[in-house]
Amino acid sequence: MEANRLNSTVKRLGRAWALAGAAALLVVAGCRQDMHNEPKLIPQRGSSMFADHRGARPQVLDTVARGQLRTDSYFYTGVVEGPNGVREEKDLMPFPVTLTVLERGQEQFNVYCTPCHSRVGNGLGMIVERGYKPAANFHDQVHMAQPVSHYFYVMTHGYGAMPDYSAQLTPADRWAVAAYIRVLQLSQDATLKDVPSGVQVKSLKEEAAEQGLPASYAKPWTLPQTAVWGSKLAPEEGTPAMAPAVKGLKPITIPASKPARGAAK
């Protein structure tokens, strides 16, 4: 009897140990360290995966990362290196200007530029009526004489009180806006000689009357009476046309022999 009891106890203990061992195996299998020690490459650390034991791999020869193929530097910067090594702006578009390009430029100008510069580019946008300084007037003598890439450069880097718009406008859109600014300048300074033969010319008053607009629509745009200066003007902070606030910068001058179109004579 005692022997049978002993054998029965040993069997029960054996089964218990077997169950405990199986449970331990299940626990160990569920506690792998893959989530803690992931097989991955950590920046600036070595690796046993490669023969040179470097985790950072060299770039493949003759390959270019996405977004880094910028062989046309003028298209992306709007400047070229001059003879003396100083950057120079050019009165040159990097691609042909088509009607589609101008329509795109008009669309983006109306979205991002008109709050400050107005629809016609005279610097009297809506925010001027809310206490902001008048923006650049594209139709004054200085801005009429500036090269077209100047506007691209300003949109890319900002100028005076104007922030840059490189995040809002792609390089192609910035060039399209610059081309449209030229169109605005021509529209406000065009003469009968610029009109193709056979095209009927209407005055702004006639155009306003045909479209049912008020008579004031044809009058010159002036600074609103509600406009105020946001701060006291200081020469070193730039002019109302937002000239660069750089001390010692030589003022822009235009030779008397080459006046801008529409300039007083």
> What is the phi/psi pair of residue 46, to 5°?
-75, 175
Contact 126, 115 (CB under 8 A): yes
Q: How far is it, in rounded angstroms, from Cα 163 to Cα 21?
A: 70
Average pLDDT estimate for 175-201? 87
Instruction: Give me the number of domains the chain comprises.
Output: 1
Contact 54, 46 (CB under 8 A): yes
- Could you tell me the two tokens for 81? 């290196």
Q: How far is it, in rounded angstroms, from Cα 102 to Cα 88?
A: 25
Residue 164 lies in a domain: yes
Residue 23 lies in a domain: no
* DSSP-derived secondary structure letter, 127: G
Residue 136 lies in a domain: yes
Contact 148, 92 (CB under 8 A): yes
Strands (E) in 78-184, as ranges, are: 79-81, 87-89
- Could you tell me the two tokens for 177? 């806006």
Residue 251 lies in a domain: no
> What is the phi/psi pair of residue 126, to 5°?
-60, -35
CATH of the domain at 154: 1.10.760.10
Residue 210 lies in a domain: no
Residue 36 lies in a domain: no
- Predicted pLDDT at 71: 78
Domain region containing 117: 98-189+223-230
> What is the phi/psi pair of residue 68, to 5°?
-110, 5
Task: Give bridge partners of residue 81 from the DSSP assignment.
Answer: 87
Summarize pLDDT for 86-128 with one digit per residue, the tens: 788 999 999 999 999 999 999 999 999 999 998 888 888 888 7
**Is a pLDDT exceeding 80 seen at residue 159?**
yes
**Is a pLDDT exceeding 80 seen at residue 129?**
no
Residue 123 lies in a domain: yes
- Evaluate if pTM is beyond 0.75: no
* DSSP-derived secondary structure letter, 21: H
Summarize pLDDT for 92-103 with one digit per residue, the tens: 999 999 999 999
Residue 118 lies in a domain: yes
Q: Tell how far CA 236 is from the center of its chain.
A: 27
* DSSP-derived secondary structure letter, 2: H
Summarize pLDDT for 43-59 with one digit per residue, the tens: 788 888 888 888 888 87
Q: How far is it, in rounded angstroms, from Cα 183 to Cα 191?
A: 13
